[in-house]
Structure 1
Amino acid sequence: MTRLTPNGSEALQMLEFLELYGILGVHHFTLYNHTLGPEVGCILQDYVSRGVVTLLPWKLNMASQKEIRTEGLFAALNDCLYRSMYRYSHAALVDLDEYIVPRHNDTLPELIKWLGTRLNTRTTGSYSFQNAFFYLQWSDDRRISSSPDPFQRGLVTLRKTRRRAKLHPHKQRSKYLCRPEHVVEAGNHFVWEFVPGHGTLNVPPDAAILHHYRVCEFGGDDCVKTASAVDRTAHRYRVRLVERVRWRWAELREKCGLWEYPVVAPRVTTSSPAGPNSTVAQRSRQS
């Protein structure tokens, strides 16, 4: 589930979101359209026609952040929750710039199954994942920025590999996978109310974390001064993701008025830090 307010390279961003989550094992998307450009609208209609996306209008006659918070975020979250109930085993409530990425398992269903073999998940109503900011102001990964492939250079989950070393605690910026039938009320960062007898499992960060790709959350560029680590876990999906996005782009290019190749808007980046606050967190295989 996500509210649609894309910007920048919207078409590529949308294809990356849909195709990477598809690789991660997601079968259906419920999207809430607040503002949407013609190219992205065309792309989504193709996914709608294939039964992969449900696209719902989300234009409220209220002033966001004055009369209601963030375009009616909590109404959208709970609409999605109850639409998913008894139709899907699990639902992830995330935004377009957020990806739940397993550290060892290949897909989210495999992760849930793996956790069930190691922890008691019988009463689990939601799986919480700690947030890691991959600030867009940090420089692109040199392995990707030097690639001649415009698709590889354009995908944010590949080119942005530096993240904050310290993860946010659960319930602060975290996101979750839930079992809809065990939830009464969904919140943004955690479930607000469960069916009695159910609760949250805080997933250990060595099993999976939330990759959150965005600019500094408080404005300016000071966030890049925080301790950081290079985390290439998402590169495990590099080959499959690039090929799937390339194939879908070529298939939709003429129909949706896309350029021959994706063009990513240039962004001023801050040099990656060096020294004691800069580490390499993990190097993953590519497949």
Structure 2
Amino acid sequence: MRVIYKLGTAVRCWRVHINVQHSVLSAYLLYFIIYTDSKLREDLSSLQKSYIYIKPSWGYNNSWRQIGSKEKHLIYSAYFDDRLDVIETINDHKTKVPIGTLRIIAILPREFKEAITCTIRFEDFVDKSVPIGKVQPLNEHHDYKYAAYSIMCPLYVNRNSTTIHLPQSVAISYPSNRLSQLSPTFVPINYPRDIDQLFARSRPLVSVCVGPLQQNYSDVLRVAEFVEMYRILGTRHFYFYHLSASDEVMRLLRYYQSEGIIDVLQWNVPAELLSQVHYAGIMAQINDCVYRAMVVDNYRYAATVDLDEILIPLKHNSLAFFLRQCDEGRTSAYVFRNVFFFKLDSNDSFSLPAHTHNRFLYTQMKVRRTLEVMPTHQRSKCIVNTQSIIEMGNHFVWRSVPGYTETTVPLSVGLLFHYRDQCINCKAPLMVDYTARRFGSLIWDRVDETCGQVFTESGICVT
């Protein structure tokens, strides 16, 4: 028995020894693979930047276009993304070099199962087909029949090239849609406004992505307050997506557009599709906007919010100062937790200046908010580092570039002030919060000045 016991012990020890050796070997192998891949991407990135690039002529504005013969299959936009770390597997790097990817925003059936081919067109009308296989819908489709898609087509060039002619447009095709193959629906590829910014370091500026204006949106005063408040908070630019809005709202947006403050993008989702895709295709809009801010304008930051949401810094004078002091470079998103202010709650006009023409601003008249702060990812909103985003959600980041992580903003540092027309829980306990009034000396005057410039006859932005 003793001999058998010792033999058994010896066998067990040997197995442990082998397992340890195996674990060490696996660790070394994993490290070698990661190191080799990292070194390869670093070398390819240097080669990528060594080429001379010729950008084609292109149009900035986009609109939804039907793909082939399928009325509810739509394509909206495409972006040249120079980030090589979004490519999961790099192929044929000894003969070909990846110079980036094309990111395509589309709407397709949620259960779409077909293999897709990208058709890339150059300015001389030469086409190149790139099979990319099956694709997955963006998250948060809420089980609607149709969903938003963010489709990636890799771009490779011959390694010994010197001058690269960048493609002008791109289309997608698939077997069941024969017309998509015979007569592809091309959309222009978006590039930086300035070609010199193609591989430049992102500018540390904050932009704002606004959810689609729909159902003939008509609250002009809220739009003016929203824009002026975020400008006070240090944001540089706004992206509005227009499905339907009143003439007065469009008049205000055209004024801001003439001042170079906002871009207004057409969001012409067909009426028959609106009931079959979540919230007018908002997931496509959010992801389009983040890529637009990153690629076209080279903004490092984008806040993804709705018109009734203000991201409020509590320890900094502006969002720009907050990011300047807190961003260490590897954060994909700063998540602001949500508190509600309700329209049905009583107004507090104590600080209302006597000379003010536009006499109802949510941020100044509503001073009681919910005591409960909602958990992270429940109605929260974000400021994202655009360079880190692969797939953006409504309330948080779904996929980011490896090495980036999401950060929840501490309650003492910032909150999302959500000014709801309808209360979620009308009996929820409330507390007084005057934080937004610290901007009152500016916001009242700025809104009055803007409304006076746009509506010269009355000086009033209607609600």
Q: Same fold (TM over 0.5)?
A: yes
- Residue 443 of structure 2 is matched in structure 1 by 241
Distance 1:243 1:71 in 2: 34
Secondary structure of 1:184 counterpart: strand
Distance 2:214 2:393 in 1: 19
- Residue 100 of structure 1 is matched in structure 2 by 311
- Residue 89 of structure 1 is matched in structure 2 by 300
Letter in 1 for 2:458: W
CA contact (8 A) 1:134 1:161 kept: yes
* Structure 1 unaligned residues grouped into runs of 5+: 265-287
Displacement, 1:215?
2.9
- Residue 225 of structure 2 is matched in structure 1 by 16
Distance 1:81 1:12 in 2: 26
Q: Does 1:216 align with 2:422?
A: yes
Distance 2:225 2:214 in 1: 15
How many residues are paired up?
A: 252
* Structure 2 unaligned residues grouped into runs of 5+: 1-208
CA contact (8 A) 2:308 2:419 kept: yes
- Residue 192 of structure 1 is matched in structure 2 by 398
CA RMSD of aligned residues (A): 2.0
Distance 1:16 1:206 in 2: 25
CA contact (8 A) 2:242 2:266 kept: yes
After the TM superposition, which segments of 4 or more aligned residues of structure 1 sit over 2 Å from their partners? 5-9, 62-66, 113-116, 146-153, 215-218, 258-264
Distance 1:23 1:192 in 2: 30
Which structure has the greater CA radius of gyration?
2
Structure 1 length as normaliser, TM-score?
0.82
Q: Does 1:127 align with 2:334?
A: yes
Q: Does 45-54 or 171-180 show the bigger shift?
A: 45-54
Can you list the C-alpha shifts for 1:49-69, whole angstroms capped at 9, x where unaligned?
Answer: 121111011121155663100
Distance 2:357 2:406 in 1: 38
Distance 1:166 1:7 in 2: 33
Distance 2:288 2:410 in 1: 29
Distance 1:229 1:185 in 2: 36
More strand by share: 2
**Which residue, out of 31, 42, 48, partners 2:240?**
31
- Residue 230 of structure 1 is matched in structure 2 by 432
- Residue 253 of structure 1 is matched in structure 2 by 455
CA contact (8 A) 1:154 1:262 kept: no
CA contact (8 A) 2:242 2:267 kept: yes
CA contact (8 A) 2:214 2:242 kept: yes
Structure 2 length as normaliser, TM-score?
0.52
Would the alpha carbon gap of residues 234 and 64 (structure 1) be closer, same or farther in structure 2, given more than 3 Å must change?
Answer: farther
Displacement, 1:260?
3.9
Distance 2:304 2:258 in 1: 23
Would the alpha carbon gap of residues 263 and 69 (structure 1) be closer, same or farther in structure 2, given more than 3 Å must change?
Answer: closer
Q: Does 1:110 align with 2:321?
A: yes
Between the aligned residues of both structures, percent identity stands at 33
Higher relative contact order (CA 8 A, sep 6+): 1
- Residue 120 of structure 2 is matched in structure 1 by none
Displacement, 1:37?
0.8
Displacement, 1:109?
1.1
- Residue 178 of structure 1 is matched in structure 2 by 384
Would the alpha carbon gap of residues 248 and 233 (structure 1) be closer, same or farther in structure 2, given more than 3 Å must change?
Answer: same
CA contact (8 A) 2:217 2:249 kept: no
Distance 1:216 1:15 in 2: 21
